[in-house]
Amino acid sequence: MSRLEYRFLLAAAAAALLPLMLVWAAGWQLARGAYLEAARARLAGTALALAAQLERRIAAEDAVLKSVCRLAGDDPAWAAEVALAALDELDEIEVNGRLASRFRVVGPGDALPPAPDGSVRDDAWGEPLLRRATGCAGGRVRADLRLRPLLAPVGRVGGGLRARLFGPGGRLLARSGPGGPPGRWLSTRKRLANGWQVEVALPERALLGPLYRANAAMLALLALALFASALPGVRLGRSLARPLGLLARAAGDLEAGRRPPPIPETGPEEARRAIRAFNRMAEAQAARTEALEQAVKARTHELALALAKARAANRAKTRFLAAVSHELRTPLTSIKGYASSLRSPDVDWSEEERREFLAVIEEEADRLARRVDDLLDFARAERGELALVPVPLDAAAWLRAQLPRLRALAAGHPLTLDLDPRLPVLAADPDRLWSLLANLVENAARHTPPGTPIKVWARPAPGGLELGVEDRGPGIPDAEKERVFEPFHRLDDRPGGSGIGLAVARMVVEAHGGRVAIEDAPEGGTRVRVWLPAEGNDADTGGG
Amino acid sequence: MRRLAWLPLLLLAACRPAPLPLVGVLVSGPGRLARVAGLEEGLKAYPERARFQVCQAATKAGLAACARRLEAAGATALVTVGGVETQAAIAATGRVPILFVGLAASLDWGFFPRLDAPGGRVSGVDNGYAELAGKRLEWLVRAWPETRRVLVLYQPEVVPTPRALRNLRRAAAILGVALDLFPASRPQAIAGLAERLGARPPDAALLLPSFVWENHLDRVLATLNAAGVPLVGLNREEVARGAALAYGAGNRDLGRQAAGMLARVLAGYPIGRLPVERPDRPRLTLNRRTWARLGRTPAPRVVDLAEAP
């Protein structure tokens, strides 16, 4: 049996006191009824005895009065004295007009006051007197009889009985004593032969006194037992209510999104198990919430980074568009200017000047074409459609052949070409390779002060060759060395360039299976190193 | 086992019945103790029980001290056997019910305003001696029709005297009897009775309620009998002691009658609602030996009606 069941058993025992009390109440009613019934029987017996006594006494009085009446003819005074001696309750008697009294001396002319037979009046003491009158051949007798002495024996019955004598019409003729204590009275009446009624009564409080006392004692015991039985019930209620209250408060915390502190285990075992389960659940819920918060935080961070990146890209694209516009507009402006100058009718240009003007127009057109090619290559590379047409290429010969064009690109910068005689043959697309080299040289020339040298070199490297372009410019911070290859990225908003030159360069290198890196040059400035695989070496095994 | 020896004693003490209610009795002299005996005897006929404690004192102060002591002892009721005792009890106590047994002219004492509902805490059985004074004279005349002059022995300052004398004078007027009055307020005054009898002998002497005369009745009877004067007493006890005739309730009868009232008081009824009772059985008692000693023969019809003491 669990503790909870045990406590419920105690509570049930306490509840059982109620039926016990009901049983006691029913028992009390039954006992009271039986007690009253017995008392009624006793009262009825007493009333019967009293009625018989009264009837006997009335019969005796009648007999005496009739005897006196018979004697009245001889000596009325003597007859009256005999009656007084024979009947203690006789107060005064008048026999043929001669009055005799028990308590006073009768004078001449004294007589009983007129009153009908059977009437009752009070004397000077407040005692009721019954008038009796009878007649016979000898004369007429009238008498006043005291009723109280007749009822005096009732008091000897005991138990606080009260007797009352009622005459015709229910008139109270006599009573045995005072009214008695207030409250309900148990009474019974007995009718006499002459129509009178004798009532014997008993105060219920006095009658049931012992029963009341026993009842009070029993009720006190029941109350005590009820109180004693209530204690386990109270403990049971507390043992259940306290953990339930703690659970409710903790659940409220959970509902409000707060992490409740662990609930102390209390109450019966069942409640403790529930608290343990709740604590585990709250702990797991807290862990899940924490993980979710971490994931959200990480995701938010990622989204913030992506947003920043997108914003940067957008800014780069804006700058790119501005730069591209500038890059495209500059050669177009030169071309339009020289072309307009040539067509001017007001100037007579010399042939040399015309050729020089045309050379500039051609150069700017080439420059414009490269920019457009770069854009197209970048777009293709973005779509993964950058197509190469590799051909066996003698790297040394090809580089030497590009020297004039490179110097033209690096206008304002002395450009030197340092080639190792052992350069391998490459499998490369010459147009893309030129685009790569032109971008590197043009980038070096754009971001270095005018007059600073630019060095292009090439030497064999494991699996291929290494190509380098070095300048004496301000250099690139280490944090930016990787990012300068990102499309539209421009370093510190430096003027010039579209921001896709180095991106196109890396796409071309990677399309050839090579690698590109930027590092600080030994003499200061920036060095871009490109590794390209030799012909027949598809694997990326080169170092650098 | 020794340690448990007290246990039976404890159980015995616990099982001891509750003490009976105490009824204190105030008596000014031994002459009325028969009323107390009658009261105790009469109470046996009722279911109520009590223990009686009699306190006797000859003076009012002594009676008051008795009453206070009895009330302090927790008396349920005080029983008095006369007016002086009742007066002292009322003055000395505050709450205890007072039941008088054989008080004469009870209404005249001023203890209550009416007889049928006295109220307060005093009630009892009136002995009717004041009212019956005339009847006693009537019975004397019936027993000795030659009676012409009667010496009335009385105590002037006691309350019943005026009522008794009033009744007596009325009866004397009806019966044609002359009354000589002989008052005595102190016992010493009784000594003058012999001289008074010698100076003018009456046909009879009649005693009115008086504690001085009653407490020295034997001396009075000796004086009267020596002078050949019959005494009409108050009750049968006095006839038994030597009075020639008496008409009134005996002391024992008064006690028996009062037992009914005491039983109700013990049952818890308020005494103020118990009407003052007249004596139920006033008896004519005649002492033939006294009459014979005096050389007189009472009327035969009276002898027939009278009881022996």
pLDDT tens-digit map of A385-422: 777 888 999 989 999 999 888 888 888 899 999 999 88
Query: Comparing C-alpha atoms, which of A92, A105, A271 is closest to residue B141?
Result: A105
A103 → closest Cβ in B132, B137, B270:
B132
pLDDT reading at B13 higher than 60 = no
Other C-beta atoms within 10 Å of A390: how many?
A: 16
Q: Which of A127-131, A212-216, A419-423, A531-535 is predicted least confidently?
A: A212-216
DSSP letter at A259 equals -
A184 close to B (CB below 8 A) = no
First to last CA, chain A: 83
CA atoms within 13 A on the CB side of B272: 9
Looking at residues A425-440, what average pLDDT do you find? 88
Mean pLDDT check: name the lowest of A258-267, A366-375, B156-165.
A366-375
> Looking at beta carbons, which residues of chain A come within 8 Å of B175?
105
Structure tokens at A279: 């604590």
Of A88, A160, A178, the CB nearest to B280: A88
Distances (CA, A) of A489 to A306, A312, A409, A515: 16, 9, 22, 19
Using CB atoms, which residue from A88, A106, A126 is nearest to B116? A126
Task: Check A177 against B268: CB less than 8 A apart.
Answer: no
As a whole number of angstroms, the distance between CA A65 and CA A48 comes to: 25
Q: What is the per-residue pLDDT across B22-79, written as a single tens digit (0 to 9) for each? A: 999 999 877 788 899 999 999 998 888 899 999 999 888 999 999 999 999 999 999 9
Q: What is the pLDDT at residue A540?
A: 47
Decide if B281 and A88 are in contact by the 8 Å CB cutoff: yes
Question: What's the half-sphere exposure (Cβ side, CA atoms, 13 Å) at B249?
Answer: 31
Q: What is the pLDDT of residues B218-258, one digit of tens each?
A: 999 999 999 999 999 999 999 999 999 999 999 999 999 99
pLDDT at residue A541, as a whole number: 42
pLDDT tens digits for range A67-102 = 888 888 778 888 888 888 888 899 999 998 889 999
- Which has the closest alpha carbon to A420: A394, A456, A464, A458? A458
From the CA of A91, how many Å to the nearest CA of chain B?
A: 10
Torsion of CA B97, B103, B108, B112, to 10 degrees: 20
Per the CB < 8 Å rule, is A155 touching B114?
no
CB contact under 8 A, B47 and A106: no
For chain A, domains (ranges, CATH) are 3-210 (no CATH), 373-533 (3.30.565.10)
| Residues of chain B contacting A103 with CB distance shorter than 8 Å | 128, 131-132, 135, 278, 282
Question: A178–B274: do the CB atoms touch at under 8 Å?
Answer: yes
Give the model confidence (pLDDT) of A15-54 as tens digits.
767 777 788 888 888 888 888 888 888 888 888 988 888 8
B218 touches chain A (CB under 8 A): no
Interior/surface letters A448-478, b for 16+ CB within 10 angstroms, e for the rest: beeebbbbbbbeebebbbbbbbbbbbebbee
ipTM: 0.87
CA distances to A537, B5, B6 from B2, in Å:
126, 5, 8
Out of A78, A126, A178, closest to residue B115 by CB? A126
pLDDT for A277 = 93
Q: Is B179 an 8 Å CB contact of chain A?
A: no
- Does B269 contact chain A (CB < 8 Å)? yes
Question: Which of A66-80, A295-309, A468-482 is predicted with the least confidence, judged by mean pLDDT?
Answer: A66-80
Cβ-Cβ contacts under 8 Å, A207 against chain B: none
Per-residue pLDDT at A15: 72
Q: pLDDT class for A488, splitting at 50, 70, 90? A: confident
The answer to whether B49 faces chain A, any CB pair under 8 Å, is no
Contact B46 A160 (CB under 8 A): no
Q: In this predicted structure, which of A27-36, B118-127, B277-286 has the lowest mean pLDDT?
A: A27-36
Is the Cβ of B148 closer than 8 Å to some Cβ of chain A? no
Strands A98-101, A90-95: parallel, antiparallel or unpaired by DSSP? antiparallel
| Interface-testing mutation among A99, A125, A129, A157, with chain B (most B C-beta atoms within 10 A) | A125
Contact yes or no for B260 and A152 at CB 8 A: yes
Q: What proportion of chain B, given as a percentage, has pLDDT over 70? A: 94
Contacts of A381 (CB under 8 A, 6+ apart): A504, A507, A511
**Nearest Cα residue to B172 out of B198, B193, B151:** B151
At A216, the pLDDT band (50, 70, 90 cuts) reads: confident
Q: Chain-wide mean pLDDT for chain A?
A: 83
> What integer pLDDT is reported at residue A344 of this predicted model?
83
- Judging contacts by C-beta atoms under 8 Å, the chain B residues touching residue A156 are 45-46, 260, 263
Probe site for chain A from B135, B257, B284 (most A CB atoms < 10 A): B135
- With 80 as the cut, is the pLDDT of residue A229 above it? no
Of B47, B116, B134, the CB nearest to A158: B47
Please indicate whether, in this complex, the C-beta atoms of B263 and A155 are within 8 angstroms of each other.
yes
Comparing CB atoms, the residue among B134, B273, B305 nearest residue A104 is B134
Over 50: is that where the pLDDT of A542 sits? Answer: no
> Over 60: is that where the pLDDT of A336 sits?
yes
Domain ranges of chain B: 18-128+250-278, 133-248+284-305
Residue A497 has pLDDT above 70, yes or no: no
Inspect the interface and report whether the beta carbons of B284 and A206 lie closer than 8 Å: no
Range B18-128+250-278 has CATH code 3.40.50.2300: yes
Tell me which residue in B117, B135, B301 faces A105 most closely, judged by beta carbons. Answer: B135
In this prediction, residue A539 carries a pLDDT of: 47
Reply yes or no on whether the pLDDT at B260 is more than 70.
Answer: yes
Q: How confident is the model at residue A164 (pLDDT cuts 50, 70, 90)?
A: confident
pLDDT grade, residue B132 (50/70/90)?
very high
More confident residue, A299 or A482: A299
Measured CA to CA, the distance from residue B27 to residue B36 in angstroms comes to: 9
DSSP secondary structure letter of residue B138: H
Fold identical between B18-128+250-278 and B133-248+284-305? yes
Using pLDDT thresholds of 50, 70 and 90, give the confidence band for residue A318: confident
**Partner B, chain A 58-97, Cβ-Cβ below 8 Å:** 78, 81-82, 85, 88-89
DSSP assigned state of B94: S
In a 3-state reduction of DSSP, which class is residue A410?
A: coil
Cβ atoms < 10 Å from Cβ of A300: 10
Interchain contact B138–A (C-beta under 8 A)? yes
Q: Do A158 and B282 touch (CB under 8 A)?
A: no
Whether the CB of A110 is below 8 Å from some CB of chain B: the reply is: no
**CATH of B133-248+284-305 among 3.40.50.2300, 3.30.40.10, 3.10.450.350, 3.40.50.740:** 3.40.50.2300
Distance from CA of A78 to the nearest CA of B (A): 8
Rounded Cα distance between A36 and B267, Å, is 20
A58 by DSSP, 3-state: which?
A: helix
Give the span between the Cα atoms of A301 and A296, in whole angstroms.
8
- Is residue B245 within 8 A of residue B285, CB to CB? The reply is yes
Q: Give CA–CA dist B151/B140, Å, rounded.
A: 12
